[in-house]
Amino acid sequence: MKIGIVFPQTEIGNDPAVIRDFAQASEEMGFNHLLVYDHVLGADRNRQGGFEGPYDKDTPFHEPFVLFGYLAGLTQTIELVTGVIILPQRQTALAAKQCAEIQVLSNGRLRLGIGVGWNAIEYEALGENFSNRGRREEEQVEVMRALWENEIVDFDGRWHRVPEAGINPRPETKIPIWFGGGTDALLERAARIGDGWLPLVPPDDRGKDAVEKILRHLDDAGRDRESFGIEPQARIAGGNPERWRKHAQGWRELGATHISIVTMGAKLARPEDHLKAASEWRDAIS
């Protein structure tokens, strides 16, 4: 499995030098990829109607596309992964343009993980429809790939219209699209049109069942199982070397191609503590 590290969005702070150092250290330590979470807005828990989400207005999130534009020029080899961009709350053509730019500036190191999210407040504030987000996501992928692959696009879909226009520059190398989520509809969609899957379940009966569904859907779509990636995440918090090894081995047996470590939530005070914990995890599972 290729081993990555999750950017500690909520705990790293706002110093650009610290962010630079963390990314460069991750690369120097040999991590294959840097995976970044996404949220545009945080809700006020005291708002009318309340709010129960895991992140709120006090939770910092660096915007992934802008962050990757910054890191593209500060790193050389590490893959830049969104895990996941909440695509349906974004304008599709603009997201395609941003991804193309990152791919150009990073010399082909972007892997686009996408998902539909859970926070209706973000969708409302960004002017997008929360109720049809899953269905729109599929058409978004079609539009984005068309814009990346063609000089001129004339697209007239259910939710998108591109009237003989295109983006420039376009990426010279393919941008892989991986799907995050676990619903049956998502698993089918990922297998049919995606390049990989980002699960958020452990390698127990739930994980095994989801992988079996993915594989069946790949077969139904006539796609090669070997070309499809699977990347779960592990957590430092609440773990120990024995548990980390068991978790990683479980995913190896289920066919995972990648795995990344989340160091947030473990009461680590400094960025170097996050890196040290990630290194200890990697040593434990190797």
pTM over 0.75: yes
pLDDT tens digits for range 265-277: 999 999 999 999 9
pLDDT tens digits for range 64-108: 999 999 999 999 999 999 999 999 999 999 999 999 999 999 999
- What are the CB-based long-range contacts (under 8 Å, 24+) for 16-24? 16/70, 18/271, 19/62, 19/67, 19/70, 19/71, 20/70, 20/71, 20/74, 21/271, 22/271, 22/274, 22/275, 23/71, 23/74, 23/75, 23/78, 24/74, 24/75
Largest CA distance in the chain: 56
Quick one: which of 97, 95, 101, 100 has its CA closest to 115? Answer: 95
Please report the pLDDT score of residue 190 as a whole number: 98
Please report the pLDDT score of residue 209 as a whole number: 98
Q: How many domains does the chain have?
A: 1
Please report the pLDDT score of residue 249 as a whole number: 98
Q: Report which secondary-structure segment, H or E, holds 140.
A: helix 133-149
Strand partners, 2: 258
Arithmetic mean of pLDDT, 163-183: 97
Integer distance in angstroms from the first to the last C-alpha of the chain?
9
pLDDT tens digits for range 181-214: 999 999 999 999 999 999 999 999 999 999 999 9
CATH code, domain carrying 119: 3.20.20.30
pLDDT tens digits for range 125-158: 999 999 999 999 999 999 999 999 999 999 999 9
* Domain housing 254: 2-285
Arithmetic mean of pLDDT, 14-26: 98
Q: Read off the pLDDT band of 169 (50, 70, 90).
A: very high
